[in-house]
Amino acid sequence: MVFAQCLRYIVKQNMGNSGSHCLGIPGGKGPNLVGCIDLMDDHTIQGSFLRLYYPCEQGGKQQQPLWIPRHEYYYGLADFLKYNRKLVDHALSHLYGSYRVPAEWDAPFKSAGKYPLVIFSHGLGAFRTLYSAICIEVASQGFVVAAVEHRDGSASATYYFEEKSKTVNEVGESTSFTIPALPFDQLQQKWLYYKPLKAGEVEFPLRNVQVHQRAEECIRALKLLTHINMGKPVHNVFPLTFDFTKMKDSLNLHKVAIMGHSFGGATVIDSLSKELQFGCGVVLDAWMFPLEDDIYTKVQKPILFINSEKFQWATNILKMKKLDSNTISRKMITIMGTVHQSFPDFTFLTGTFLGRLFQLKGTIDPHIAIDISNKASLAFMQKHLGLEKDFDQWDPLIDGKGEHIIPGTNIHLPLSNSEPNQ
């Protein structure tokens, strides 16, 4: 994806932050204060790992977490970009290391009826924190949002834990048949970095295996939250104070959506083909390449495609249009002046000059672009999850009506079938 190309330029130039004091991840505009925690329910590689965003109680003194939570994520980006780890760590720490996520870390959950649920899937080379602006906005509007960190080799970096006193085999499977809930101080981190293509390796088989694993990880996250909603005990590997019992009966599991960007967009479609509990999908600038052809007929749920103006190409759009239906709502809009990186948080944290130079910003104000995307997403979810909200005020956006929006696509079909490097 273009993410890699953008960061290559930044690392090569080793430039300082040219942004101003105004740079930062935007907070939520909805009526709810947003809290967040990290949740890992099983310390092994088989467990779920996600960042949970949720409406939280007022009045706490919780700290806002760092946007990039560990230096190992910089190392993962370096491996992804095939650059020296120390150079990337220095450059990106200088550019982005001080930014924090505008959500209250480990804040008490706000029990106020039943919240709809959104599962979010990140793009290639990303990880769970890089779409905080979208997740926080949706949570502020009265949703619980679970941003999955994928362990299929498509994240730049992620991790699980090993027991300090035991060995773990190559794929991270414990030699024991039971996985005890161990104290945090008895565990050590095991990092997984981006899995590159081998010399001469055909890309599709790898990406197809990955997209299916990603879908299973999204479904596993849904099942975990289902258990939490039922009041079943949950062990979080991380030593936080968050009281999961307050989430009992707090989720409306008849109103569940799935969202994702780029590779995460393909993950949305695959997940919809596998799990009927997802009521609809919102697909942000999808990379359709990983999906096999027989997936399309298996998807029976409404989908909203929100595309950038500068990323898409004919073959990719034609794959999206295979999902067109006369009976199931399938909508597509394009936001003018946007690029592929108008959806992740980098677009808010880079000054205009560097942002345009490295394709982290389009010509549109990134706050306007994400506002359009978020409002269209909320309106679509209200319509197809049956929410009793006022998001229907933004229904025209779904049909491509309004400033900065193109109904459908700006790509003229048919065009060349060549696919850009992701």
pLDDT at 5 (0 to 100): 52
Count of C-beta atoms within a 10 Å radius of residue 130? 24
| Annotated active-site residue in 43, 122, 212, 340 | 340
Question: Is 293 designated active site?
Answer: no
pLDDT at 317 (0 to 100): 97
Higher-pLDDT residue of 255, 60: 255
User: Cα–Cα distance between 52 and 147 in angstroms, integer?
Assistant: 6
Residue 216 has pLDDT above 80, yes or no: yes
| φ and ψ at residue 89, rounded to 5 degrees | -60, -45
User: Cα–Cα distance between 26 and 136 in angstroms, integer?
Assistant: 9
Question: Is 412 designated active site?
Answer: no
pLDDT tens digits for 169-179?
Answer: 444 443 333 44
Helix, strand, coil: what percent of the chain each, to 5?
35, 20, 45
83 in any annotated domain: yes
CATH number at residue 109: 3.40.50.1820
pLDDT at 336 (0 to 100): 98
Average pLDDT, the chain: 89
417 in any annotated domain: no
Q: Domain tally for the chain?
A: 1
Reported as a pLDDT band with limits 50, 70 and 90, residue 180 is low
170 in any annotated domain: yes
124 in any annotated domain: yes
8 Å CB contact between 138 and 34:
no
* Beta strand segments in 111-250, E: 115-121, 144-148, 157-163, 187-193
391 in any annotated domain: yes
Residue 20 has pLDDT above 80, yes or no: no
Question: Is 185 designated active site?
Answer: no
Query: What's the mean pLDDT in 221-238?
Result: 96
User: Cα–Cα distance between 63 and 120 in angstroms, integer?
Assistant: 24
8 Å CB contact between 80 and 214:
no
Reported as a pLDDT band with limits 50, 70 and 90, residue 21 is very low
Give the predicted TM-score (pTM) of the model: 0.90
416 in any annotated domain: no
223 in any annotated domain: yes
pLDDT tens digits for 354-401?
Answer: 667 667 789 999 999 999 999 999 999 999 999 999 999 999 999 999
6 in any annotated domain: yes
Question: CA–CA distance from 208 to each of 289, 301, 356 (Å)?
Answer: 8, 21, 32
| Annotated active-site residue in 262, 308, 342, 377 | 262
Strand partners, 49: 40
Name the residue range of residue 241's domain: 2-407
| Annotated active-site residue in 38, 270, 285, 345 | 285
The token duo for 97 is 């290391």
8 Å CB contact between 239 and 259:
no
Element (H, E) at 255: strand 251-261
pLDDT tens digits for 277-302?
Answer: 999 999 999 999 999 999 999 999 99
